[in-house]
Copies of this chain bind each other. A is one copy, B any other.
Amino acid sequence: MNISLETIRQRFKDQGLKSTPQRTAIYKALVETTSHPTAEDLYRHVSQDYPMISQNTVYYTLGVLQQARLIREVNVGHERARYDGNLSPHHHLICHDCQSIVDVMDKKLNEISFPTGLPTGFEITDYQVEFRGYCKRCRTQKA
């Protein structure tokens, strides 16, 4: 889905973040994709419009956006970090082979009741379901 520059600037302002062209481009790219890119993916993408951008800026910006709770980190294996600009509650489908991540929107999954018998004092803020399996492409490749 598309996001306007206006909206981005407002969100940054709300979180006390300066709006720079690089930062805006990185955030826009992340919100407008569902591919859960790595820092390098984003670096390559944003480089098309800002050839002088450094990888450092991408890492720094992702850190800032994450702290401001405008984006989230997603993890698959212990490989490089991947990011998600979609903050609405949703879940993930991950392929064991190609590590692709697909969003799962299913209302029922948002209504799981918290487990009982937790360690005393633990306060749950949110949860996420990770479904693992094999995507069509990887299955046909094996056959």
Interface residues of A (CB under 8 A from B): 73, 75-81, 91, 93, 95-96, 102, 104-106, 108-109, 112-137, 139-140
A118 CB contacts on chain B under 8 angstroms: 93, 102, 104
Are A125 and B133 neighbours in the complex by a CB distance under 8 Å? yes
CB of A136, distance to nearest CB on chain B (Å): 3
A–B Cβ pairs within 8 angstroms, 7 of them: A93-B122, A106-B115, A119-B135, A121-B135, A122-B133, A125-B134, A126-B131
A127 CB contacts on chain B under 8 angstroms: 129-132
Q: A78-B75, A78-B80, A81-B78 are in contact. Are A123 and B119 (CB under 8 A)?
A: no
CB of A93, distance to nearest CB on chain B (Å): 6
A125 CB contacts on chain B under 8 angstroms: 96, 132-134
Are B77 and A76 neighbours in the complex by a CB distance under 8 Å? no
Are B73 and A75 neighbours in the complex by a CB distance under 8 Å? no
Q: A91-B115, A130-B128 are in contact. Are A122 and B135 (CB under 8 A)?
A: yes
